[in-house]
């Protein structure tokens, strides 16, 4: 099992234990371990295999937890989880998707009213049975009833790219309110997570009323969930919730830092503050001996994020890396990376044309790339195995390459490379003959079929492709489609190690439905000194603009421009892959 899978199991254990009202310290231990393992940059299997190291060397992992992890690594199962599942109906966990209804309250509903599904909960609320329970009340019952439709949508999160479109329109709309002095988004959207559950909007304004009125007028608002003096929540027609907070100017930076998160990042920050006799919260930084809450004692910082971090002698971390992974270590070592910017990218090495399933011609894609200031592109239409996309056989591919040569003869500010996205066949091997691949400038090896084969079979196919002398890069290496398809059953660490050994590159596919590799895998590639290429996989002219989503993902992994190959001139990339 990989680290995220182990973390998921431990989170499930924590939910079940809390549902059963187990010792809160035990529940907290499983949740803390899950958070620690989820983003741990090194596979736990390697630590177990290393005779000189122990899982208990990791913070928050005691002997009992280490034994549970070892059991998962050895058997792929956890007997404790199986036992707990036998004691709690699986349907109950649909209740946990309702905002504010955690395992404890779900347990009360189950034990007192026998509620084990969302439909049963709706009926109980409509019959006003829930309000009679201790700790609930009429208002809670109404809130639960209102939250059931959203829970029935399975708590879906939308792509960051979709949230970004909404956020852009919302900012334009809100800036029409003259009382607003400062306005910023916070939360997972600001951190650039690949999916977003809601939008957190912070505003510094002279009056809160007009700001809330303005939000209510935003196109697509269907429900006003709550409105107070400084807080407001609305729901859009698309299901996305927007939470607005109006804060004072002297606390705006502290609020922005606090609500941007992540939760884990803020826990570390508060711990550092406590060690200095300080307290950090959404209102500012205070001395503990002089209060430590809003309006109490001397406020040391709060107006800007830089001030908040500065009091603790820390840099103002880019939001994308605030995940309590490496950022505090980097700061301590004075090695905070200068994260890659969109402007650093000078080439795009994965795109399609009307020769297969693209919507624009070779010349149209080249013209669009020139407009975006790119120095080189690779045309990588599908090989013949992808018949649904009219994939190219040897004859059609060579004819396209002749067109590329002709086009290059006309251009002096853009180099068009002769490429192909060549399928890795189900039985192994490449979809085109070696003599054809040898003529290419750039070969993307991708797996589109046989995605549910056993791990050993898929790994054998991918490793063979990486070892192929004419393959330049492995495309969308795990094959995931966010919210739609799970990754292949592959050992990404082994793939990265093979790429390092063979001198091959790995793709970060910038399509917002893919973002493959993910941020954890990208950090692992960096650790193994394997350069990545951020590619758009564009199938249209507009598709070239998704490059920024890939750059955002790379920033979350802490990557600099030096770790992304297509920030370099083509000649240097060509030397990387031995194509000289």
The dihedral built from the CA positions of residue 514, 516, 521 and 524, taken in this order, carries a sign that is negative
Domains of the chain in sequence order: 3-152 (1.10.150.110), 158-247 (3.30.460.10), 268-332 (3.30.210.10), 342-576 (3.20.20.140)
pLDDT digit string, tens, across residues 222-237: 889 999 999 999 988 7
φ, ψ for residue 441, nearest 5 deg:
-80, -30
What 3-state DSSP class applies to 550? helix
- The mean pLDDT value for 493-514 works out to 96
The pLDDT value given to residue 39: 65
- The mean pLDDT value for 118-137 works out to 91
Burial pattern 364-401, b for ≥16 Cβ within 10 A else e, equals ebbebbeeeebbbbbbbbbbbbbeebebbeeeebeebb
Structure tokens at 62: 């005691």
Q: Residues in the chain, how many? A: 580
φ, ψ for residue 176, nearest 5 deg:
-75, -10
What 3-state DSSP class applies to 321? helix
User: What is the overall mean pLDDT for the chain?
Assistant: 92
pLDDT digit string, tens, across residues 508-522: 999 999 999 999 999
Give Cβ neighbours of residue 399 (< 8 Å, ≥ 6 apart). Answer: none
pLDDT digit string, tens, across residues 262-288: 999 999 999 999 999 999 999 999 998
- The mean pLDDT value for 498-517 works out to 96
pLDDT digit string, tens, across residues 515-563: 999 999 999 999 999 999 999 999 999 999 999 999 999 999 999 999 9
φ, ψ for residue 202, nearest 5 deg:
-110, 135
Backbone dihedral region for residue 150 (phi beyond 0: left; psi -120 to 50: alpha; all else: beta): alpha
The pLDDT value given to residue 143: 85
What 3-state DSSP class applies to 495? helix
What 3-state DSSP class applies to 372? coil
Short-list 482, 7, 505, 444, CA closest to 264: 7
User: Are 350 and 537 a contacting pair, CB within 8 Å?
Assistant: yes
Query: Pick the residue with more confidence: 253 or 141?
Result: 253
């Amino acid at each position: 099992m990989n680290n995220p899978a182990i973390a998921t199991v431990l989170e499930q254990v924590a939910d079940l234990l809390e549902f059963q009202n187990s010792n809160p310290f035990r529940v907290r231990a499983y949740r803390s371990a899950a958070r620690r393992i989820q983003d741990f940059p090194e596979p736990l299997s390697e630590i177990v295999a290393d005779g000189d190291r122990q899982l208990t060397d990791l913070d928050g992992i005691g002997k009992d937890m280490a034994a549970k992890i070892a059991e998962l690594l050895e058997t792929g199962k956890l007997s404790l989880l199986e036992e707990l599942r036998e004691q709690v109906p699986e349907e109950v966990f649909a209740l946990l998707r309702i905002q504010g209804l955690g395992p404890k309250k779900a347990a009360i509903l189950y034990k007192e009213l026998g509620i084990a599904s969302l439909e049963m909960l709706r009926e109980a609320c409509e019959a006003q049975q829930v309000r009679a329970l201790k700790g609930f009340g009429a208002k809670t019952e109404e809130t639960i009833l209102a939250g059931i439709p959203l829970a029935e949508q399975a708590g879906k999160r939308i792509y960051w790219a979709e949230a970004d479109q909404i956020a852009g329109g919302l900012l334009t709309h809100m800036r029409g309110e003259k009382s607003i002095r400062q306005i910023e988004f916070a939360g997972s959207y600001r951190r650039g997570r690949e999916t977003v559950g809601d939008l957190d909007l912070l505003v510094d304004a002279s009056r809160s009323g007009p700001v809330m009125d303005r939000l209510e007028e935003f196109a697509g608002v269907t429900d006003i969930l709550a409105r107070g003096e400084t807080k407001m929540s609305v729901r859009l027609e698309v299901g996305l919730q927007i939470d607005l907070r109006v804060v004072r100017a002297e606390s705006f930076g502290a609020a922005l830092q606090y609500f941007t998160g992540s939760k884990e990042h803020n826990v570390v920050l508060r711990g550092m503050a406590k060690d200095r006799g300080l307290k950090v919260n959404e209102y500012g930084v205070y001395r503990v001996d002089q209060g430590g809450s809003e309006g109490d004692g001397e406020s040391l910082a709060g107006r800007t994020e830089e001030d908040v971090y500065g009091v603790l002698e820390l840099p103002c971390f880019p939001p994308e890396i605030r995940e309590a992974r490496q950022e505090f270590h980097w700061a301590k070592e004075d090695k905070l990376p200068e994260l890659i910017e969109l402007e650093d990218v000078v080439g795009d090495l994965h795109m399609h044309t009307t020769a297969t399933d693209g919507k624009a011609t070779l010349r149209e894609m080249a013209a669009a790339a020139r407009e975006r200031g790119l120095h080189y592109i690779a045309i990588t239409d599908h090989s013949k195995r992808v018949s649904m996309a009219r994939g190219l056989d040897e004859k059609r591919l060579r004819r396209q390459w002749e067109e590329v040569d002709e086009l290059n003869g006309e251009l002096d500010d853009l180099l068009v490379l002769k490429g192909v996205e060549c399928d890795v066949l189900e039985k192994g091997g490449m979809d085109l003959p070696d003599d054809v691949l040898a003529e290419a400038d750039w070969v993307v090896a991708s797996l589109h079929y046989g995605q549910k084969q056993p791990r050993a079979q898929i790994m054998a196919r991918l490793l063979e492709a990486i070892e192929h002398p004419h393959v330049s890069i492995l495309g969308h290496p795990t094959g995931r489609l966010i919210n739609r398809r799970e990754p292949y059953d592959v050992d990404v660490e082994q793939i990265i190690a093979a790429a390092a050994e063979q001198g091959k590159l790995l793709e970060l596919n910038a399509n917002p439905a893919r973002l493959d590799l993910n941020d954890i895998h990208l950090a692992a590639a960096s650790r193994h000194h394997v350069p990545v290429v951020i590619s758009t996989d564009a199938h249209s002219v507009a598709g070239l603009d998704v490059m920024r989503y890939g750059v955002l993902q790379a920033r979350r992994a802490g990557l600099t421009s030096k770790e992304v190959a297509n920030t370099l001139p083509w000649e240097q990339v060509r030397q990387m892959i031995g194509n000289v």
